[in-house]
Amino acid sequence: MELQYLKNIRTAFNPAHIQIALDGTFLALPLTRTTAGVWSLQDLSFKPLELEGHRKTLRCMCFGHGSQPKYICTAADDYVIVWNIHLARQAVSKGNQVKGKVIGTTLGCIQYCSFSPDDKLVAACCENDVIILEIKNEKVLATVEGHTARLTGAEFCPHYTSTLVTISEDRTFKVWDISDFSLVYQSQIITASPFISMSMNIEKPQVAIGTADGQ
């Protein structure tokens, strides 16, 4: 596999410790403390799409799984907002204000977010809990609790759409059934360091989990 350098992007706000988004077509970074920028990977020299709607500092962002429409979720301590990138681009081309859909308000410190495979739900990690948000009706469906320390990730399984996997600084992972918000599996403490990252296998129902000590 050949690697190719594309471009160095500088923003006015340091994105360290913020969940940024990349899906192979678009890249999303905080342009400022409260504004997200979305670049097309086809040409990173073009001006990014600016998404303005937050008053608090951006904490995380993620792309939806579909392409028509293409969604991005941005989260801060004030709002969780879902944006339709196609409609946002149309608004910019017509000189209109870009508007997103607020699906959650003052939920707390959201440190991670992800879409369900059908882009109907967003899982938002808030301290030790996961808040499940429904996009269409703009409401909180449930809060699932069980971890004893701060969550560092939550991802839906691409093979079983109602399955959600969460990881935490408590050094455990849990598997949830979102159809009834029940806990399906809870691991033992299996490492000496907190879990800090995870990635789903799109080919098989498997998940890889990374720890703070490099495992």
For 21-61, write each residue's pLDDT tens digit. Answer: 999 899 999 999 999 999 998 887 788 999 999 999 999 99
Q: Is the pLDDT of residue 155 over 70?
A: yes
With the C-alpha atoms ordered 24, 123, 113, 88, is the resulting torsion angle positive or negative?
A: positive
Residue 181 has a pLDDT of 94
Q: Where are the domains of the chain?
A: 1-145, 152-215
In terms of CATH, what superfamily is 1-145? YVTN repeat-like/Quinoprotein amine dehydrogenase (2.130.10.10)
> Tokens representing 128?
């030790």
**What is the chain's mean pLDDT, rounded?**
92
Residue 157 has a pLDDT of 95
d(CA 26, CA 200): 19
pTM: 0.92
Residue 7 has a pLDDT of 64
Task: Mention every residue, 6+ apart, whose C-beta is less than 8 A from residue 43.
Answer: none
Q: What dihedral do alpha carbons 72, 14, 45, 42 form, nearest 10°?
A: -40
Measured at the CA of 109, the angle between CA 105 and CA 115, to 5 degrees, comes to 70
- What fold, for 152-215? Thrombin, subunit H (2.40.10)
Confidence of residue 87 (pLDDT cuts 50, 70, 90): very high
